[in-house]
Structure 1
């Protein structure tokens, strides 16, 4: 797991579902993938298969939990263990109103002792690595001393690594979308935190847009987590195995990805999925290639129609020059 954390894809609500993760796994066999955040209450009281089911090819894959009730989180961890996730992460970074009303996410940075209690019982409930994802601060508690105080409180609880979004979160006055862009990035603060913690793994996240930027961050931290750029331009993942894991196996062709996603869609449709639930994650696959606009139109419009099947994926890829499809993506 330590190696897999060198390059990971961030948990993103409404985006990194199992269909998205299956696509990303076609592009990188080594990157650590994350689920969307799942609340501990939903797991304890809801449909665990719907919330936690995934394809075995997704490994290494981590599940992210949201919650603040230690006993409920411990039970959620035991449920996650039955599904064999490689890592269990606690969300202490999401700033949405819904998350705040449930007393979890970024607002928990104001309660480091409670977070430490939650993490301790989570660690006691499993042998699976437990990690935390947080911000560099919240509201007026955004000094370097505040971040250090939070980390010092939670680190002894048995966690294996810390993922840090290099922006503070404004819990009042900014929307979740604004919180992803408006608070300034402070990568140096994360670098200094890593220096302070020595061998303890620190993974940086926030506003990273290229493989080259990732490589620069890896000079100062143990790992890099990509978010929106990996979703909107998934082909950036095609370089991951070679650039971050020194895996020189030849990457797939676009036509290989077409075949994999067509076969996957056929299986998932047989289980009751709708085609657009799968194809919505594929829109950026052909960015920059001739025919990409028509590719996106077909996947976003035709896939929504009643009875749409895998042939829609074939029709979309047919808009791209076959010579481009035959080129290895890494």
Structure 2
């Protein structure tokens, strides 16, 4: 349940009245500025805010919209309204954008956690132990930048999208370099066996692109619907962390398979970016203001073309290397 406080000049309130009739509201004050309190289910918030923003002129300082979440509201009318609303809540655009901010810059904590997860995955790969590899996925924070990229592009924040990609690239590069250096160091001390878990991640196929697209789509869908980010994060890490570690291992022990390992990583990365972008379109995630929508459409078109080109190149490489 959300409480929305609206301040509107008399001229704007006259246009707003028809929208308010559809929702439970109370007019608290009428002079000199109308002050209206509205209660509505969370699932109705986005559509309601869009209608209000199109109705009142927010260039005037008297006009404002404030949204909050009350602890509880006792009202049979509101209870019936919530029962009629969709049970699956849609996260407001502003909240989605806010959740991307931690992934627009590389933090030491995120880098350290990713590096540790990479080393654990390296251990599991050499031990041929799937349980250890899964444990590494639980620690890996790779989902965040992919999610931030999709949301940023969808709302027209191209620069933020590029920042999130740079964070993702830095995390994957750190895993790759650390895996290569660790493998080289261990290889000088003890004989290292190339296990089936390692070899399975040096095989490329166009089917991995489809899998990655579905993973990217499912991850954004899960986060938008308020599902656990741990589940989505493990799914993303499963497709990115072990293959990146194997790419590092291959530079030392499997030099003839380095290209295949690298292509597999790129297939998964680009595929998940594509799936995440598709999810934002399907879910209707986008900017509110008209000028922001124009910028968002341009950013989405340019990004979609670039991603489609990369997917086509990777698809061709997969067929060649299969």
Rg larger in 1 or in 2? 2
Higher relative CO (Cα under 8 Å, sequence separation at least 6) belongs to 2
What TM bracket, shorter-length normalisation?
under 0.3
Q: Structure 2-normalised TM-score?
A: 0.22
Q: Which has the higher helix share?
A: 2
Q: Of Structure 1 and Structure 2, which has the larger fraction of its residues in strand? A: 1
